[in-house]
Chains A and B, each alone.
Chain A
């Protein structure tokens, strides 16, 4: 083996892609050739140094991402139908409208569950807007920054009754 062969196939050697016999030939060349041994050393040390320079994400990376996702168009969930594709705003507005349509009554807690297509998504309607004030049915945008679609979990659902909004999607409205 000469130095040109060594350099040409160095990647295979470095990535342990060579059969054992060929690898032995490479090792033997490294023992004999100072120039190729230096090449190998420089590359390994350079790689090690480069790996030490990984930048750390800022501490507020995830909170900022949550805020961005609040305003991002909705993801299409597995059970999504063309209705769902119609847009997040339609669904979110439908959810809020649905809450207004039903009088929850004092002291009651309401949760909304979007039913998209034939299957409920189990994401609350408020997930992308912010928490809903359950007495008024309004979305509290003031608290939206502390309320994240990344952290929301479906509220505990109780016996439900359905309300048709006439907006192509059904909102199941659950009351205590």
Chain B
């Protein structure tokens, strides 16, 4: 009886929920048509992924976040140039990749920046263990952190043109075609660079993993 009296309220979906369900290209179109909230959805969807990508490329977390911001500013300003027949993510990663490349080029001209980055990373890596997850024993934590650090260093040691392909494939899960679009090199080169990057990565981490 009580159940019969229950009134089913129609599910009301907010505009933000509707936008969140749209594909990237559609969001871009909505933004260009004047729906400013569509940009929020795109930013929410991609900022963590782009941060990961740029961080892996340049190895400096704070600077990587600045560059992700810059990526979004460029996306915001130039979204009208985005070809909606292609993947938005490819376009955004291309912008992010170019910014990372410029950053590395600028750094190579300024060794002081590289030194500051290493120092910052070293300080972060040597904070007391008690700040981490206390479910593990300190020696386990140390070993785990040490291993991760070695993996991170191994990625950072790859030459830039191998690293970008490696990060996009192994960490970002991009297809060969997407990597080719993002990096602007042909498919064959993507494949060979990825293979070399994997070989080099395996050589660097093998002594620590087994």
Contacts and interface: CB of A to CB of B under 8 A. Distances in A.
Interface in A12-44: 12, 14-15, 38-39, 41-43
A150 interface: yes
Secondary structure call for the B interface: helix
Contact of A152 (B36, B44, B55, B72): B36
Nearest to B71: A65
Interface string B42-84: 0110011001100100000100110011001100111110000
A7 B47 contact: no
A46 B77 contact: no
A118 interface: no
A10 B151 contact: no
Contacts of A122: 33-35
Interface residues of A, number: 50
B148 interface: yes
Contacts of B176: 15
**Which residue of B29, B32, B147 has the most chain A CB atoms within 10 A of its CB atom?**
B32
Given A50-B170, A77-B32, A10 B52 contact: no
B12 interface: no
Interface residues of B, number: 51
Nearest to B155: A50
Contacts of B123: none
Contacts of B205: 42, 46
A46 B201 CA distance: 8
Give the interface centre of A42, A46, A64 by most chain B CB atoms within 10 Å. A46
A105 interface: no
A42 B65 contact: no
B47 A75 contact: no
Interface in A41-81: 41-43, 45-47, 49-58, 61-62, 64-65, 68-69, 72-78, 80
Nearest to B54: A55
Interface in B1-41: 15, 29, 31-37, 39-40
A77 B195 CA distance: 42
B68 A57 contact: yes
Nearest to A71: B73
Contacts of A64: 69
Nearest to A47: B170
Interface of B: 15, 29, 31-37, 39-40, 43-44, 47-48, 51-52, 55, 61, 64-65, 68-69, 72-73, 76-80, 147-148, 151-152, 154-155, 169-171, 176, 191, 194-195, 198-199, 201-202, 205-206, 209-210
10 contacts: A11-B194, A45-B209, A50-B170, A54-B48, A68-B73, A72-B73, A74-B77, A75-B32, A149-B39, A151-B37
Name the 3 nearest CB pairs between A and B, nearest first.
A122-B34, A78-B32, A76-B80
